[in-house]
Every structure is written in C-alpha cells, then in structure tokens.
Amino acid sequence: MKIRALHLNTNNLAETEAFYNTILNIPTNRITSNEVSFLIGETELLFTKSGSESHYHIAFDVPKNLLEQSYNWMKSKIEILPVTKNSEFSNFELWNAKSFYFYDNNSNLLEFIARFDLENTSEKTFDNTSILHANEIGIVTKGVPKLTKKLLNDYPIAIYTKQPAQENFTVLGDETGLFVLVNENRNWFPTDKKAKSFPMKIVFKASDNKTYELEIE
C-alpha cells in the first residue's frame, strides 16, 4: 500500500507553510486562500484552513542508511522528542525499524522512520529530497476492532503481518504504507498527548494497484 496524499486541517495556513518551507525545506506545491500543499517525496501533504486546532500523527520513510543523518539534519533545526531518558530513538524490533519524533507548528506528531527490510539505501547526503514518502497515518476511533473490520471489508488491505492486532491498537497495510488505528485517549507514543479524531482524507494505492480515498469525519 502506498499513501499518495493526505488531506488534513490546520488553523494557521501561514505558519504551516513557513514550517514546511523552512524546517523541512519543502517548497510549497500550491496555495490558495484556504489550502496549502507540499510534495514530500511521493506523497502530497495538503492542509485545509479550519477554525479549530487539529492534531495528527504521520510517519515519513527515510533511506535505511540515512537515519542518523536525518536525525542530525533535524536536530539542528527543531527539538527532537525523547523516547527514553537516555535516547531520542525508538527501536521497533518486531518491525525491524528505528525512528525519531518531533512536532510541526500544528503540534502534529511527525516521525522519520527507517525500515531495514526495505531496499531503499541512498548514496547521497541527506537533505529534503531524501524524504521518501508518508508511510504511516494515525487513525483515531472509539472502537479499533469495529473500524478494523470495516476497513478490511471495504478495501483490499490486510492486518500488518509484523504487528498482531490488539483491542486498542491495530496496524493495517504493508511495509510500504500503514494505517495505524488507535483508540481515543490512548497516548501517542512516545508522548503523553492523547489521541483524538480529526477530519482527514487519505488517498492510497492498495494491493490491487487501484487508488482509493478514505475519508474520516
């Protein structure tokens, strides 16, 4: 599965454009009075103006050999969130992956993650063009098992083979794209920020090579 576009809300278009332009060094793809979008690797990230705050969780893949470089690149610009008292990196042994986290101007929890089972090694020095695509999007619900069943019925996707389904946490998709389903008020790892549901649209290509749109209200 590949996430082609994420349509999210923001209550400050100007600050959002400034963050992605200056911190991630991603140029504006297009802008109107109500929207601003960016091309981050293979994914379009689009923000629509809203009258209230919205908070999301998004993970972006980086080349598996450039995680340390991506960390140093971001560390010089913004605070990296602690994962433990001694480290700002998370190690996902089941997933064979490693990552770090930071917030954007909207308090969206962003993550750069290296997945060591993917063949995406890069020989270039890390910069904004090294970010490959959005690989994970958090979907918050009042009932993870119910939503899991619906999504499995509606789309040609499956439970992620590296993560057993749980009552309050289930991951759908594959190594190239994941929906992270969590119950409301579950903490977004590695923070104490409670997961809340906000409107969004996900455009993704599934295992049948067809493109689908999933809207969360």
Domains of the chain: 2-216 (3.10.180.10)
pLDDT category of residue 111 using cuts at 50, 70 and 90: very high
pLDDT at residue 200, rounded to an integer: 97
DSSP 84: S
b (16+ CB within 10 A) / e for 119-139:
ebeeeeebeeebbbbbbbbbb
* H/E run at residue 48: strand 43-49
∠ CA 200-56-151, nearest 5°, is: 50
Is the backbone of residue 68 left (phi > 0), alpha (psi -120 to 50) or beta? alpha
Structure confidence by residue, pLDDT tens digits, 129-183: 999 999 999 999 999 999 999 999 999 999 999 999 999 999 999 999 999 999 9
pTM here is: 0.96
pLDDT at residue 86, rounded to an integer: 93
C-alpha 2, offset from chain centre:
12
Structure confidence by residue, pLDDT tens digits, 2-14: 999 999 999 999 9
Question: For residue 154, which of 215, 82, 88, 93 has the smallest C-alpha distance?
Answer: 215
Of all residues in the chain, the percent with pLDDT exceeding 90 is: 99
pLDDT at residue 137, rounded to an integer: 98
